[in-house]
Amino acid sequence: MNTTHKPLLTEAVLFFSERGIAKQMLYPEFEALLDGMVSTPEFADETIEAVFVQINSRLHVRAAVFFTLDFDLDGNISPLWNMPLRTLAEKAGRGPDMGGGPIRLACLGFCNDSRFKPNLWKPAQRAGKSDLLTVKEAVTRNTLGILGEDREALGVIQPEHLQMAAEDAWYGGGSTISPQAGAGQASPEIVGSRDQAAVVLAAQQQAAYKEQIGDLKRQLDELRQLREVELAAERQRHQDHLSIVQGELLDIKNELALQQKINITLKRDLSKAQNRSSSDAD
């Protein structure tokens, strides 16, 4: 019978400071914070950048929502704050690969629902390191103590793949080795078992090499996608700056045009006054 295992996801919230991640908590703790059952005095009267993450049993991030939190003077979250983090994570678009395949990413610039954009922020660089990489490293360190199922270990030996030995071999009742065979050459059974062990060892080494190659490829893909996100953020910053500069230039041009009109009007009035004065003199 085939059994389908539904992947279990652990939910957590990571709080950022200027240097990196300042605090981590599982989602039930965050809910207690939202309900006002606990407070965080270290965040009193501040707006904090945080990220809601969903983590699988292999300690891979599967979804991330980058949001902001406003704290009052007592370190409690503002009662006006309301963000459906789970819904945003489920409906988020395709993000970068953080080690376990592309994640679902919701952040400023990567969210289709404009209602929540004021409470979202875009990951970038912090203390010389990418925010996404900081999140990945924090999850991998597992300071939250996430317990996952080691399906690789469970899958090494599967009962349906085991072969039952003959009953007479349970007690050493199988074929015997003569003194000559023991002194000179191994019996065919021993030679066969050695060959089989060598084949198994070679297969294990090949599998290990493939896994290492796969890990390197995933790391390269992750770095490339992280770089793409950083470049997109940098392009957006340049575009925003360019829009501001262009707006300022347009204001200056409008002011110059207005000043020119004023100067022309003043010259015309001055010329009329001079002509009027000449006529009066005559």
pLDDT of 235: 81
pLDDT of 280: 72
Domain total of the chain = 2
- Terminal-residue alpha carbon distance, the chain: 119
Do 29 and 95 lie in one domain? The reply is yes
Q: Domain span at residue 23?
A: 10-141
pLDDT of 148: 64
Do 137 and 212 lie in one domain? The reply is no
The pLDDT confidence band at residue 112, using thresholds 50, 70 and 90, is: confident
Comparison of pLDDT for 275 and 54, the residue scoring more = 54
Lowest pLDDT segment from 66-75, 194-203, 244-253: 194-203
Do 14 and 137 lie in one domain? The reply is yes
pLDDT of 147: 78
- Domain termination residue (choose one: 78, 111, 141): 141
Predicted confidence (pLDDT) per residue in 158-174, tens digit: 434 434 434 343 334 44
Q: In this structure, how many other beta carbons lie within 10 angstroms of the beta carbon of residue 31?
A: 13
Express as a percent the part of the chain with pLDDT over 70.
Answer: 79
Do 192 and 137 lie in one domain? The reply is no
Predicted confidence (pLDDT) per residue in 75-88, tens digit: 999 888 989 999 99
- Domain termination residue (choose one: 141, 158, 178): 141
Q: Quick one: tokens of 130? A: 């990418």
Do 17 and 136 lie in one domain? The reply is yes
pLDDT of 158: 42
Question: From start to end of 56-119, where are the E strands?
Answer: 61-70, 93-97, 102-106
pLDDT for 60 beyond 90: yes
Do 135 and 53 lie in one domain? The reply is yes
Do 79 and 201 lie in one domain? The reply is no
Predicted confidence (pLDDT) per residue in 136-147, tens digit: 999 999 999 887
Residues 97 and 104: beta-carbon distance below 8 Å: no
Do 136 and 41 lie in one domain? The reply is yes
Give the span between the Cα atoms of 53 and 105, in whole angstroms: 10
CA angle 254, 255, 257 (to 5 degrees): 65
Express as a percent the part of the chain with pLDDT over 90.
Answer: 38
Residue 24 lies in a domain: yes
- In sequence order, what are the residues at sequence separation of 6 or more whose Cβ sits closer than 8 angstroms to the Cβ of residue 188? none
pLDDT, mean over the chain: 80
Comparison of pLDDT for 123 and 282, the residue scoring more = 123
Q: Is the dihedral of CA 99, 109, 48, 65 positive or negative?
A: negative
pTM above 0.75, yes or no: no
Do 117 and 200 lie in one domain? The reply is no
Do 26 and 133 lie in one domain? The reply is yes
Residues 218 and 61: beta-carbon distance below 8 Å: no
Give the span between the Cα atoms of 2 and 5, in whole angstroms: 10
- Domain termination residue (choose one: 141, 169, 202): 141
Predicted confidence (pLDDT) per residue in 184-240, tens digit: 455 555 556 666 767 777 777 777 777 778 777 777 777 777 777 877 777 888 787
pLDDT for 68 beyond 90: yes
User: Which residue carries 């489920």 as its tokens?
Assistant: 90
pLDDT for 33 beyond 50: yes
pLDDT for 49 beyond 80: yes
pLDDT of 152: 43
Give the span between the Cα atoms of 187 and 194, in whole angstroms: 11
Residue 165 lies in a domain: no
